Amino acid sequence: MKSYTKYSEINRYLNQGTFSCFDVVSFYLKNIKEKSHLNAFLSVYEDEALARAKEIDEKLKNGTAGKLAGLVVGLKDVISYKGHPLQAGSKILDSYISPYNATVVERLLKEDAIIIGRQNCDEFAMGSSNENSSFGPVLNPVNAECVPGGSSGGSAVAVASDMCQVALGSDTGGSVRQPAAFCGVVGLKPTYSRISRHGLIAYGSSFDCIGILAKNVEDISLVLSVIAGQDQFDSTVSHKPVPEYFSMLRTKKKFKICCISNINESPTLQTEIKVALNKSIKQLIDSNHEIHYSDLPLLEYVLPTYYILATAEASCNLSRFDGVRYGYRSSNTKDIMSMYFKTRSEGFGAEVKRRILLGTFVLSSDYYDSYYLKAQKVRQLIRNQVKELLKDYDFILMPTTTTTAFKLGEHNTNPLEMYLSDLYSVQANVAGLPAVSFPYGKDDTGLPIGLQLLADEDEETKLFQLTNQLIET
């Protein structure tokens, strides 16, 4: 079997009997073994995936297979899969086995998707390079000296390297879109509340979204229609009907697109990315779409607002990892207090501890009003400003990242430099809006360039339509 870009091609050949689900799974397992040096997978469910493939082959023969029959999916190591390890890339969850399925996993399995393994990520999804994992860094498949982006780096690498057809990641501040840009694949961060977070290990609960990575918009649209929608286990999930996104990918509608002047003209934006952005604008104009320019006055406050609020939420969410009920527990303890201190000190990595401390600081009584409360107010102002723009325009077009993939270790000595790599991706999370990153050319060294589109709430259909045009043309 060869590599296929789209699941629709695989599905057609499965139904024709050209090859079987067993062949499909075997193909991906072979690639996982051959490319193990990229460190994308933490666990591979080889026997289980092959056994499930045989079951689905029988369903295909009987005409009872689900709409995702034979779709091979990888899970970022923050999404629960019953009876399988779940560690969030952290030592503190050593030996933890998930007792239940995340809602997204339950829905994938119901439609006969095949879960092939657990994918490496930055510890507790905190990072922009996938160098913070307790299991070592993931390597970029285009250039192994570069990072794949984070925190869903393992998921992006697996899709880009034909280790699975689709992967589910999480996007708290760009953690699906940034690795998608660095690895040359498509990454969707949906509207906050579009997909249930039940079974997702929490980092920043008001920002976290389960996202989808694939090589094309078709696969993402198909998977989103399956996993989105209301869920009794998540009170924050939207109750709005879920469209059949896949059937609405093609449109002749002409859109109005806004470009942010103070991003396009930024001196920090890599030259090749600026060229790619201008090329995409020309392509849109040539296709008779409208392009307009506008400033976003609060742009400089987006990143600090995100890091104040996300670290505050992280310090609360991660308080549950204390060594008492599950996971790692320090053996070098004398009493209950030393057990708490040593377990968390030994179990968490440096970046996670840094963010817990930052979050605890901004929530402290002396600084709550000055930092946390003020950041909440600024967040609402940013959201209002972006939504006001989207009253006049269908989309905001911008780069996904300021640079292409950087070298391993390049920003490790300066956390601020690492945080700045999220400059253009956090906006969608702060505003709670959907965004999709798509590959658009390469830089002078052959590294992929990613651009992204933002739309208003629950307008994923339009996002897919325009992204599909930009990729296919």
**Rounded CA separation 264/280 (Å):** 12
pTM over 0.95: yes
Looking at residue 158, its pLDDT comes to 98
**Rounded CA separation 63/365 (Å):** 62
Query: How far separated are the first and last CA of the chain, in Å rounded?
Result: 28
pLDDT tens-digit map of 17-26:
999 999 999 9
User: 436 with 369: CB under 8 angstroms?
Assistant: no
pLDDT tens-digit map of 416-462:
899 999 999 999 999 999 999 999 999 999 999 999 999 999 999 99
Cis peptide before 43 (omega within 30 of 0): no
pLDDT band at 332 (very low <50, low <70, confident <90, very high): confident
pLDDT band at 266 (very low <50, low <70, confident <90, very high): confident
Looking at residue 1, its pLDDT comes to 79
Residues classed as catalytic: 76, 151, 175
| pLDDT of 110 above 70 | yes
pLDDT band at 396 (very low <50, low <70, confident <90, very high): very high
Domain 7-248 coded CATH 3.90.1300.10: yes
| pLDDT of 473 above 70 | no
Neighbours of 329 (CB within 10 A): 18
Average pLDDT over residues 58-69: 97
pLDDT band at 264 (very low <50, low <70, confident <90, very high): confident
User: 180 with 213: CB under 8 angstroms?
Assistant: yes
- Average model confidence (pLDDT) for the chain? 96
Name the strand (E) or helix (H) holding 109. helix 103-110
Name the strand (E) or helix (H) holding 44. strand 41-44
| pLDDT of 224 above 90 | yes
| pLDDT of 138 above 60 | yes
Question: Helix count (H) and strand count (E) of the chain?
Answer: 16, 11
pLDDT tens-digit map of 375-387:
999 999 999 999 9
Retrieve residue 129's tokens.
């390079």
pLDDT tens-digit map of 184-213:
999 999 999 999 999 999 999 999 999 999
